[in-house]
Amino acid sequence: MALFGRRPRPEAEARRRVEAWARAAGGFGPDTAMTVSEIVCADPACPGFETVILVLAPGRPTRAVKVAGAVDALDEATVAAAVSAGA
């Protein structure tokens, strides 16, 4: 159930799937931590929902990869393109 007009958090399975795609596309090993979050962009130029993948590689600055769309609506090609573009 959505509270206060918000969409429920994306399912853990969808977040894990996006993380696996990002990990494969970027060649990130198990020593690289990642988080996958879905936000609602308040900017009128934004597509509405945006997925943010934080890449926390040891000894490197944290990198944020932004993908237009909700976590559960993304596909592997879209995630791979976003990770590759931010490399």
For residue 60, being part of any structural domain is answered with yes
For residue 7, being part of any structural domain is answered with no
pTM (2 decimals)? Answer: 0.82
Q: What is the CATH number of the domain that holds 36?
A: 3.30.160
Cα distances (angstroms) measured from residue 70 to each of 14, 24, 26, 32, 58: 10, 20, 20, 23, 28
Strands in 63-68's sheet, in edge-to-edge order, are 33-40, 49-56, 63-68
Confidence (pLDDT) at 62: 95
Confidence (pLDDT) at 51: 93
Domains: count for the chain:
1
CA triple 86-74-41, angle to 5 deg:
70
Domain that holds residue 18: 12-85
For residue 6, being part of any structural domain is answered with no
Confidence (pLDDT) at 46: 73
For residue 1, being part of any structural domain is answered with no
pLDDT averages per 10-residue partition of the chain, 87 residues: 52 93 95 94 79 95 93 96 85
Confidence (pLDDT) at 2: 44
